Amino acid sequence: MARTKLVVIFLVTWLITFTVYASNQIKGVRVWPAPENTRIVFDLAKKPDYSYFSLTGPNRLVIDFKNSENAVKLANLAKNDKRILKIRTSKAKQKGATRVVLELAQSYQTSIFPLAPAGQYGDRLVVDLYDKKSLSKKTDNTKVDGKRDIVVAIVAGHGGEDPGSIGPKGTYEKQVTLSISKRLAKLINAQKGLKAKLIRTGDYYINHNRKTRLARQYKADLLISIHADAFTSPKPRGASVLVQDPRRANSEFAKWIANRQKESELLGGAGETIKKTKDRNLALTLADMKKEHTMASSYDFAEHVVNQLKRVTKLHKKKPEGMSLAVLKSSDIPSVLIETGFISNPIEERNLNSWKHQQKLAKAIYNAVHNYFIASPPAGTLYATIGYKKHKVSRGESLSVLAKRYKVSVGELKTANNLRSSTVKIGQTLKIPRAE
């Protein structure tokens, strides 16, 4: 009897001890390689209590998950990543803790932080490994004739462990945005004088600050962020074009001015003057002019996008709308965010999955890019030498007659003049694009 009581006491004590020391669990581990960094996400049952340190010879990152157990097979998780040689467990010094070791190819800049539950995910611990030397090459935009290309940075929304919105049939926004972005980039790169730079080329996440830094590194003249909208109801439909809300722009502007010695490169051609001048009023004036020009340019381009999108899809908003969005915060690069449709609407989810519809959307956005830069080309670019000719329609002239005369297509004439039909009126002034 006494022996039985001792066994029961032992079992109860063991269960209590196990419960105390394994109050959390590593339920999953996901590895997301990107060109300049790798993100590792640990999915946990509860908020992680953790500590970490790095070792050299060989390079390792060691993470101790306190009061936790591991339920994941780690052996082959990093087989497709060049930065992580192996992920394994090791014996932790603290009782009840799980020690995870990342064996690394070299030394990396490390960022580790927890994330609270959101959407389909629960508590997480995120580990970012950044290359210390940027893998991005400088962009050479100079052509043989000395006229540079116009650079368009394209951001495919979401990516990696951030799927974005999810449609009724399980379509991930991150997949749709990447597909449309790649189609858009292909169209832009096929046009002489334009060059597209994809900020995200695969299924990985890039934080918002990094997106604008990369766009600036590519010397982008325009930033386009591609997204798909969603709502709690399946009823809303249509595309929208968003620009930076003036209040957010003013807030970012205040930060630049406060730190203008460091951030002068964010202020375009006047950056060095703004940095060196001791006259604060002059600095404010120059920087404010740059901000206002960028905001006006963003809205101007957004109107071009709206005019093109309404030809290929339903619009949710008939005019560009101002919103406070992190990806639009750059006041030195005109920036827009395009919601290509509501992925939460079954009809639009099906359309957004269609390669034909994706191509129509990409073509509409490309037309907006081309028309915008033909009308407002940056100095020193090939587009600045192109421009439009102007023609006043006379009696007996039609689009087909003018197309033949100027050696362009009827479609190009309609696109350049935002015409929905082939009808023109006597006395109407048309813009004639340059023939290739």
DSSP 276: H
- E-strand ranges in 160-289 read 194-198, 222-229, 240-244
Q: For 325, what's the count of Cα atoms within 13 Å in the CB-facing half-sphere?
A: 21
Whether 259 shows a pLDDT value over 90: the answer reads no
pLDDT tens digits along 45-75: 999 999 999 999 999 999 999 999 999 999 8
Q: What is the helix (H) or strand (E) element at residue 429, kind and residue range?
A: strand 429-433
pTM of the model: 0.74
Q: Is the dihedral of CA 239, 212, 182, 78 positive or negative?
A: negative
Whether 126 shows a pLDDT value over 90: the answer reads yes
The band of 201, judged by pLDDT with boundaries at 50, 70 and 90, is very high
CA distances in angstroms from 291 to 174, 252, 296, 372, listed in the order given: 30, 10, 9, 19
* pLDDT confidence of residue 313: 96
246 burial via Cβ count (<10 Å: 0-12, 13-18, 19+): middle
What size, in residues, is the chain?
A: 436
Whether 427 shows a pLDDT value over 70: the answer reads yes
* pLDDT confidence of residue 135: 45
Highest mean pLDDT among 230-239, 317-326, 372-381: 230-239
Structure tokens at 146: 């000395």
Mark 29-53 as b/e (b = at least 16 C-beta within 10 Å).
bbbbbbeebbbbbbbbbeebebebe
Whether 384 shows a pLDDT value over 90: the answer reads no
DSSP helix, strand, coil percent of the chain (3-state; round to 5): 35, 25, 35
The band of 333, judged by pLDDT with boundaries at 50, 70 and 90, is confident
Residue type, 221: D
Whether 398 shows a pLDDT value over 80: the answer reads yes
Mean pLDDT of the chain: 83
Contact 223, 188 (CB under 8 A): no
CA distances in angstroms from 69 to 28, 44, 89, 97, 197, listed in the order given: 12, 10, 11, 7, 43
Three-class secondary structure of residue 160 per DSSP: coil
pLDDT tens digits along 406-420: 888 888 888 778 788
Mean per-residue pLDDT, 29-36: 92
Phi, then psi, of 432 in degrees rounded to 5: -110, 110
The band of 349, judged by pLDDT with boundaries at 50, 70 and 90, is very high
* pLDDT confidence of residue 193: 94
* pLDDT confidence of residue 278: 52
Specify the higher pLDDT residue, 340 or 297. 340
Contact 155, 211 (CB under 8 A): yes
Specify the higher pLDDT residue, 244 or 74. 74
Q: Which residues contact 161 (CB under 8 A, 6 or more apart)?
A: 30, 32, 39, 41, 121, 124, 205
Q: Which residues contact 416 (CB under 8 A, 6 or more apart)?
A: 371, 374, 388, 430, 431, 432, 433
* pLDDT confidence of residue 314: 96
The band of 288, judged by pLDDT with boundaries at 50, 70 and 90, is low
DSSP string for 302-343: HHHHHHHHTTTS-BS-SS-EEE--GGG--SSS-EEEEEEEET
Phi, then psi, of 102 in degrees rounded to 5: -105, 110
Mean per-residue pLDDT, 128-134: 83
Whether 101 shows a pLDDT value over 60: the answer reads yes
pLDDT tens digits along 145-180: 668 999 999 999 999 888 999 999 999 999 999 999
Whether 389 shows a pLDDT value over 80: the answer reads no
Three-class secondary structure of residue 151 per DSSP: strand
Three-class secondary structure of residue 399 per DSSP: helix
In angstroms, the CA 187 to CA 28 distance is 39
* pLDDT confidence of residue 262: 43
Q: Which residues contact 363 (CB under 8 A, 6 or more apart)?
A: 187, 312
**DSSP-derived pairing of the beta strands 240-244 and 24-33:** unpaired
* pLDDT confidence of residue 84: 97
Residue with tokens 């006379």: 394
Mean per-residue pLDDT, 11-27: 63
Contact 235, 354 (CB under 8 A): no
Domains contained in the chain, CATH given: 22-130 (2.60.40.3500), 150-381 (3.40.630.40), 387-433 (3.10.350.10)
Neighbours of 402 (CB within 10 A): 17
Whether 261 shows a pLDDT value over 50: the answer reads no
Three-class secondary structure of residue 33 per DSSP: strand
Residue with tokens 């003057």: 273
* pLDDT confidence of residue 67: 94
Residue with tokens 């630049």: 256
Whether 269 shows a pLDDT value over 60: the answer reads no
In angstroms, the CA 266 to CA 297 distance is 16
